Amino acid sequence: FFAKPWIFVRGVPSMEFLPPEGPPEIAFAGRSNVGKSSLINALLGQKGLARTSNTPGRTQELNFFVPDGFAGSAADLPPIALVDMPGYGYAQAPKEQVDAWTRLVFDYLRGRARLKRVFVLVDSRHGLKPNDLDVLGLLDKAAVSYQIVLTKTDKIKPPAIPKLMEATAKAIAKRPAAHPEILSTSSEKGRGLDELRAAIAGFAER
């Protein structure tokens, strides 16, 4: 299904607009501007599918994407859905707005039965920040499976990448939830995309 075109299904501004539980969902979470939307576009090979920007706070809803060609009825659900999320942390938007996005992200992450994996994206120039740890804490508590994905590795020196992966693995080693290997990616250079696709494909149904 990564070879197929994907389509945008809907943008969800608050919990009451969530679609009914359907295909397994894979969510992309992370601080504002970490590269969530860019990574989805790179994975799907469709520039411009998820909107990206230099300005933190670009993605303002939970945006659902599925492979094209499924009717979406109970009898013909897509095998998987990807969910692009608003970022948490600093964004160029009013505080009430940012607080509302953060609430939406947290509510979705803790309350979605079909959510199979959360990729927590971390900018390789910055590493894990306190609000990332808040999100990991929430996922631990809700027993939702997560995996850390370093982004923008084209922005750091190559020898720094394994060091950062090691330090990040060490920082989360004692967390209660299972945490598969840390992935490192660059949407810009296409690095790490196959590993990420393989992780996603493992959750697809049919």
Tokens of 120: 């927590």
Q: Select the residue interacting with ligand GTP from 18, 56, 134, 156 (CB under 6 A).
A: 56
Nearest residue to ligand GTP, by Cβ distance, number only: 87
Of 1-30, which residues contact ligand GTP (CB under 6 A)?
Answer: 30
Q: Select the residue interacting with ligand GTP from 23, 35, 67, 78 (CB under 6 A).
A: 35
Query: Which one of Mg ion, ligand GTP, none interacts with residue 24, CB within 5 to 8 A by kind?
Result: none
Could you give the angle at which helices 130-142 and 95-111 cross, rounded to 10 degrees? 30
Helices (H), the chain: 36-44, 95-111, 130-142, 160-172, 193-201
Within 13 Å of residue 13, how many CA atoms lie on the same side as its CB?
1
Q: Count interface residues toward ligand GTP (CB under 6 A).
A: 24
Nearest-approach distance from CB 148 to Mg ion, in angstroms: 18
**Site track 98-137 with ligand GTP (rule: CB under 6 A), x = hit:** ----------------------------------------
Q: What are the strands, taking DSSP E only, across 39-104? A: 62-67, 81-84
| Run of H or E residues at 49 | none
Backbone phi, psi, residue 126, to 5°: -115, -25
Distance CA 170, CA 140 (A): 16
Strand partners, 27: 83, 118
Note whether 67 binds ligand GTP by CB under 6 A: no
Closest CB to Mg ion among residues 59, 151: 59
Nearest-approach distance from CB 65 to Mg ion, in angstroms: 12
Binding site for ligand GTP (CB under 6 A): 30, 32-38, 52-54, 56-59, 86-87, 151-152, 154-155, 186-188
